[in-house]
Amino acid sequence: MYIRLVLMAGLAGLSLPAVAADTMTADALVAKNLEARGGADKLRAIKSLNAAGKMRFGGGMEAQVASYAIAPDKSRFEFSLQGLTAVNAWDGKQAWAINPFQGRREPQKVSDDDAKGLVRAADIGGALLDWKAKGSTLEYLGTEDIDGTDAHKLRVTFKNGDSQVLFLDPDHFLEIRIEDHQFVRGQEQVNTSDLGEYAQVDGIYFPMEQGQMQLDSIRLNAPIDAAQFAFPTAKP
């Protein structure tokens, strides 16, 4: 069902011309990125997303992961290892978590700072889609060598002051790295993920490899029970 692609070699069929770095603008990069991913209209048409895969650790350990999102304001992430499952979710107003790995088997409400990643995950189309309407600002930072690729750098700054720096492949304009900058309790936290192994799902390209996480499947616009995002009223 999925068309697995190697990012640097398998996207030649997109036929997107390379553009010299000195003539590139932020708006032009956004347009090419959205086109490469499948088009802005198709991205806006995604109302729900369900992804499943695995996360690998040292020593051969492997956890099962699953994520659910309903645009624009619901997300849930599950992490299962050795018979235990941790849950992080946001219902549009309140985030909560169950973390048995820290001895917390009862759901606990999560602070707004700690919920930022969950809030971002509900934006299924990504930071570049309709960035101006979302109240974000955009800046082109030139290029940077990423493992031998002279990648274009875009900084998207959100209304809350957090930002993402996206590194786009110069030939195909898809993300090959994302730096996530979040302010948590007054301190900036930076997380970097390398992206690759793009696959086409319903006409839209997604990175199946995201840092330590390898996705096996993505389902778009399938029914998702909204109740699973709400804070549990009974014991899990």
Q: What is the reported pLDDT for 7? A: 28
**Of the ranges 15-19, 37-41, 225-229, which one carries the lowest mean pLDDT score?**
15-19
Reported residue count of the chain is 236
Q: Average pLDDT of the chain?
A: 90
Rg (CA), the chain: 18
pTM: 0.86
| Per-range mean pLDDT, top range of 16-20, 57-61, 63-67 | 63-67
> What b/e readout covers 56-93, taking b as 16+ CB neighbours within 10 angstroms?
eeeeeeebebbbbbbbeebbbbbbebeeebbbbbbbee
Task: Decide: helix, strand or coil at residue 195.
Answer: strand
Cα dist. 188→5, 78, 154, 191, 204 in Å?
Answer: 34, 25, 19, 10, 32
Tell me the pLDDT tens digit for each residue of 123-164: 999 999 999 999 999 999 999 999 999 999 999 999 999 999
Q: Is the confidence at residue 189, as pLDDT, over 90?
A: yes
Q: What is the reported pLDDT for 21? A: 43
